[in-house]
Structure 1
């Protein structure tokens, strides 16, 4: 399985990233279903669960496929934009009839099924069960699911049922409950990043924090720790970009939480480094000029110097 993760089946053939297929959920899934499915996949791909020879691949699948899909579908604004694209895709399927070769027998059957909607839901659930069991076949499983989504979109338009008016039609009307499970995954990323930072594994620590921030972009602790990572990296291999990025993350963290202790430590260190750099740069300017005349010449020399008696 290539780490480029190129999928050329179903909606992917039409230059459309099928995030529902990546997560193994139907196009009708609500926010609760999306969240539960993501948590299940993330646990399945966790380093403590995967076989040793699959850990790198599992991490790549999680960071390059699963996390971006969840970030897109869990954000109300992002999801609303994505849903508009789905509606446009459905219209395109009816108007242009783009040729998409279906490889899955289940998708071919769905294309002819009289009661296609329940058949579609059942097929998605069936395909999703083992979607991430064998990572060597995960792209094929995503392709199977995207073919089902392609057929479902086509059949909906064919039936003139169209697409729901807005994303709110399928979202709970009550405020969303707290998401402790997602927070726990962010905390796991954070703890691993701390441990890696102590081992001076800066690149790996950054990767853990980047994954955490994909789940929770406004996590002040993660931004604060990211600032420290860049500061520590600068101590080993000085580069102005390290301090620039450290400053950016520290500023972001303190904007989110002015009392965030990690970010405050990072800010103190950055201020100290800036003061030291400023002092070094100012030294040549404060060096007194050499005197060129031996006597008390000049304006003040003429006034107060005088000649020795």
Structure 2
């Protein structure tokens, strides 16, 4: 398995990071169960437990997959934001499920069988048992778990039940609100935007890019988010020049200006991109020294009246 951990099945098909699948827990898992599961995985991936030839891969799995998943599901603010994205993804499932081919037999059975809730929990528990025993197949197991989540969410959405909440959170908190209206979505996008701005000021480009990706999923027509994303790629270009950074910066800038030609963030991005392009053109096919001014050339200016430069 490559260290990029590219997963495209199940809920990942919709550009949604399925943190429940990564931890091997059901979508209605309680906070105590989430923590218990995380600690179990972390112990299994500890360097003292792993074989020597697996330690680097185990550390990568822990840092790139497991730790971010637990951080998202254990933080109330992050979990609320995650819930909004999950509910929106569930709505998409109902409309676009026919465009997705499920590879898991268990997931396909959940899409049509009776008593799907009990089958779902049993299937998740079964897969989770050996999820992190063979690190070379972790991505495949996460994919199967995410397909189960896909089928489970689809069935719940069919019955208009929405995203399942854990028993503990239902007891401690009021019932979840219906899908957010436009004003609530704007407020959430604003949170992502503000966090991205703060991270960019600290030169934390990957983290800022992740916040903006989540914001754009919520509101693909946010000109300021596309403008700030262009600035993120500009910053990355300054640190590590590449054609990809410039191309992505231009793509997001084009979207931003198309949505709002007067957006200040997009205009700032255009200014910086123009500066980079102009700077990259310096010294290519041009003399390094500036041409002499007219006053320095023979036959022109005051000194030219006397047939040459003043000695």
TM-score bucket of the superposed structures, by smaller chain: 0.5 to 0.7
Alignment partner, residue 99 of structure 2: 99
Alignment partner, residue 140 of structure 1: 140
Alignment partner, residue 77 of structure 1: 77
Task: Say yes or no: does 1:89 pair with 2:75.
Answer: no
Contact map agreement 2:90 2:153 (CA 8 A) in 1: yes
2:99 match: secondary structure: coil
Count how many residue pairs are aligned between Structure 1 and Structure 2: 173
Q: What pairs up with 1:284-295 in 2 under 5 angstroms?
A: none
Q: Between Structure 1 and Structure 2, whose CA radius of gyration is higher? A: 1
Alignment partner, residue 48 of structure 2: 48
Q: CA RMSD in A?
A: 1.8
Contact map agreement 2:28 2:167 (CA 8 A) in 1: no
1:27 match: secondary structure: coil
Measured in 1, the distance between the counterparts of 2:133 and 2:63 equals: 17
2:89 match: secondary structure: helix
Alignment partner, residue 219 of structure 2: none
1:97 match: secondary structure: helix
Contact map agreement 1:38 1:70 (CA 8 A) in 2: yes
- Structure 2 residues not aligned, in runs of 5+: 174-311
Measured in 2, the distance between the counterparts of 1:48 and 1:116 equals: 40
Structure 1 position 95, deviation (Å): 2.8
Bigger shift: 39-48 or 79-88? 79-88
- Structure 1 residues not aligned, in runs of 5+: 175-309
Measured in 2, the distance between the counterparts of 1:127 and 1:38 equals: 15
Detail structure 1 runs of 4+ shifted over 4 Å in the superposition: 166-169
Alignment partner, residue 130 of structure 2: 130
Alignment partner, residue 293 of structure 1: none
Measured in 1, the distance between the counterparts of 2:167 and 2:109 equals: 31
Alignment partner, residue 172 of structure 2: 173
**So what's the TM-score if we normalise by structure 2?**
0.53
Measured in 2, the distance between the counterparts of 1:90 and 1:61 equals: 27
Alignment partner, residue 20 of structure 1: 20
Structure 1 position 92, deviation (Å): 1.3
1:160-196 Cα offsets, whole Å, 9 max, x none, are: 22235x779636639xxxxxxxxxxxxxxxxxxxxxx
Contact map agreement 1:30 1:171 (CA 8 A) in 2: no
Q: What pairs up with 1:276-287 in 2 under 5 angstroms?
A: none
Alignment partner, residue 67 of structure 2: 67
Structure 1 position 97, deviation (Å): 3.4
Structure 1 position 94, deviation (Å): 1.3
**So what's the TM-score if we normalise by structure 1?**
0.54
Structure 1 position 149, deviation (Å): 0.3
Structure 1 position 80, deviation (Å): 0.6
